[in-house]
Amino acid sequence: MTAARTNDLPSVDEIRTQLERIVSSPEFPGVGRAAAFLRYVVEEALAGRGSRIKGYSIAIEVFGRNETFTQEDPVVRIEAGRLRRSLERYYLVGGRNDPVRIDVPKGGYVPSFSWNTAPAEHIETVPDPTSPPRSSEPWWRARRAVLAYVGAALAASGYLAAVGLASYAPPRPSGETFPDRPTLVVAPFANLGDGSEAQLYTIGLTEELLTALPRFKEIKVFGRETSKSLPSDVDASRVRDELGARYLLAGGVRASNDRLRVTARLLDTSDNEIVWSQDYDNDLGSGDLFAIQTDVARRVATTIAQPYGVMAQLDAANPSPDDPGTYECTLRFYAYRSELSTEAHADVRHCLETAVARYPTYATSWAMLSIIYLDEDRFRFNSERGSEAPMQRALRAARRATQLDATNTRALQALMMALFFNRELAEAMRIGEQALATNPNDTELMGEFGTRLAMGGQWERGAALLDRAIALNPGGGGYYHGTRALAAYMLRDYPTAVSEIERADLQKFPLYHAVAAVIYAEVGMMDDARREGEAFVRMRPDFLPNIVAELEMRNLQPADTARLIAGLRKASMPIPQDVADTGAGVGITSDLQPR
């Protein structure tokens, strides 16, 4: 392979030549339907019909099933597994020196195409995601059709070259572009009572869950077709064996007179253990049926699927063996956000940089890495010297994440944060509203957006979002409480400010101590105020001498700036004498969370 090829996708002709090379090879099965299966999916993708490549169409057009085919028939899943193994064997033996690689990644049937070999160069800076596409128009149309179905079905090197994001291709992870994430199957909720109303509710609730859960991009949720093919009392072992999912969400609905009870339970398919369950009781006489099912689905999805929810806690305690390295980065990222220490920051940065090199089309990892780069600048955590400032690396990584997945809440959150700290306040708030609309149940986003709104002067709305995040996720990170304490201080609700700052466990985070000092000084706890102020100066000796630059970056309003400067002086903090308590161009804030 020539060096130029690392920057281009294989052409349609090159892919078709490789297809014929594979199916005619003695190292590829000469019996069965592997060749027909492979031909069908490749030609459909090249023709721009990637959205048609589903189990149903394959069953009918390749395996001769009739229109009554359902997902109960495992023929496509079985044959797809055989095809993947045959391709893996082929490239290990007869095709190891072939120029083009064709794979069928797990989780779907859309093929990926890439060069078979590529230099394993290390990325030093995040490349510009606004570079123009480099592929030919016919193939580009076909690739976009594939992406519309699976989000990112092309292999790593081909995808990056196609959108002009990079000029390198990292080592390929067995042909897959996404890491394995915790996988969840939703079984149809059962009607445990009598009457058509309860039956209607069970169908609607299942649909609502299948809408709410996939918005959390840290997990993978099997779609509606899979859910509808299962009985409501499906055994967890079947879900594990046939679908490879780690979790099963099941439940039932019972209606009696004007009362409606929904029971939901989450099972670990490895041992059939019920790891979480909850009953939801509703009065049909006092609420709209559709509003009730939407609310229950929201509460279930938020509890089990959010970054600090049931599944994340279980996986942190018992990580999945499927891809522990990459998913562990996600868990480490949220653990870091709860602690905000320089030691955890360095560890997570290294982990995420490795993850995006391995899976360069996984938007969530890029979003998390953007936030980590941002923290290099605003918190002075482990700053690295290079040709590009950390703030710019943060913005580039965030834009890459949103380009890869425009509906990814974490990607939109990262872009909002990067824009905010680049002092593009109006655009940051617009992206924040977009992110909240994308997933209104994501408490990580709620806390972050609430903080940004507050810093921009909307203290009441920011406090309300933070209260909502705390209510939905009482076990979340201390930064919820830290920023809520600052909001209470600015709203002159001092009892709440003291209560919240004492609930924030952020002893390793410098700015926590600054905000605590201001609050304690306001309520007359001067010994505590001096102790916290001394801790802040010891941890960030560079902050107060450069307070103007530090605080201008955080978009505080002049009146809020003046009040906080006065509060810092009241806490005996050594504010430079030439900084007036007028709020003219200076300020302090709490990034009491990176939120």
pLDDT at 518: 96
**Domains and their CATH numbers in the chain:** 3-163 (no CATH), 183-301 (3.40.50.10610), 323-440 (1.25.40.10), 469-595 (1.25.40)
Rounded percentage of the chain residues whose pLDDT exceeds 90: 32
Whether residue 155 contacts residue 288, with contact meaning beta carbons closer than 8 Å, is answered with: no
Spatial separation of the C-alpha atoms in residues 403 and 423, rounded to whole Å: 21
| 273 Cβ contact list (under 8 Å, min separation 6) | 267
Mean pLDDT, the chain, as a whole number? 79
pLDDT at 182 over 70: yes
- In degrees rounded to 5, what are phi and psi of residue 573? -80, 140
Name the DSSP letter for residue 439: -
- 3-class DSSP string for 65-104: CCCCCCCCCCHHHHHHHHHHHHHHHHHHCCCCCCCEEEEC
Cβ atoms of 390 and 373 within 8 Å: the answer is yes
Query: pLDDT band at 148, cuts 50/70/90?
Result: very low
Percentages helix, strand, coil for the chain (3-state, rounded to 5) are 55, 10, 35
Q: What Rg, from alpha-carbon coordinates, does the chain have?
A: 27
Query: Comparing C-alpha atoms, which of 232, 235, 234, 249 is closest to residue 191?
Result: 232
Angstrom distances, CA of residue 453 to CA of 61, 375, 450, 464, 592? 53, 19, 5, 10, 14
Residue pair 383/376 in contact (Cβ under 8 Å)? The answer is yes
Residue 176 and residue 191: Cα distance in Å, rounded?
39
> Does residue 591 contact residue 512 with C-beta atoms inside 8 Å?
no
Structure-token match 């105020």, residue found: 529
Q: How confident is the model at residue 584 (pLDDT cuts 50, 70, 90)?
A: very low
Query: What is the predicted pLDDT for the residue at 308?
Result: 75
Does residue 58 contact residue 34 with C-beta atoms inside 8 Å?
A: no
Q: What is the pTM of this model?
A: 0.59
- pLDDT over 90 at 595, yes or no: no
Q: Which of 182, 39, 173 is nearest to 111 (CA)?
A: 39
Contact 515, 508 (CB under 8 A): no
In this model, does residue 321 exceed pLDDT 70? no
For 394-420, the pLDDT digits (tens) are 999 999 999 998 989 999 999 999 999
**Amino acid in the structure at residue 574:** P
Q: What is the mean pLDDT of residues 379-392?
A: 85
Tokens 């700290």 — which residue? Answer: 421
Predicted confidence at residue 435, as pLDDT, reads 94
Contact by Cβ (8 Å): 572, 533: yes
**Of residues 490, 483, 466, the one with CA closest to residue 559:** 490
3-class DSSP state for residue 185? strand
Q: How far apart are CA 353 and CA 359, in angstroms?
A: 10
Length of the chain: 595
Q: How far is CA 373 from CA 122, 349, 518, in A?
A: 17, 8, 28
| 171 vs 104, higher pLDDT | 104
Side chain identity, residue 392: Q
pLDDT-derived band at 309 (thresholds 50, 70, 90) equals confident
Spatial distance between the Cα atoms of 563 and 468, rounded to a whole number of angstroms: 26
Q: Do residues 509 and 480 make contact, with C-beta atoms less than 8 angstroms apart?
A: no
Please, is 567 exposed, middle or buried when counting C-beta atoms within 10 Å of its C-beta (0-12, 13-18, 19+)? buried
Q: Give the Cβ contact number of residue 475 at 10 Å.
A: 9
Q: Which class for 440: exposed (0-12), middle (13-18), buried (19 or more C-beta within 10 A)?
A: middle
Pick 156 or 34 by higher pLDDT.
Answer: 34
Which range scores top for mean pLDDT: 83-97, 149-163, 182-196, 504-518?
504-518
pLDDT of res. 295: 87
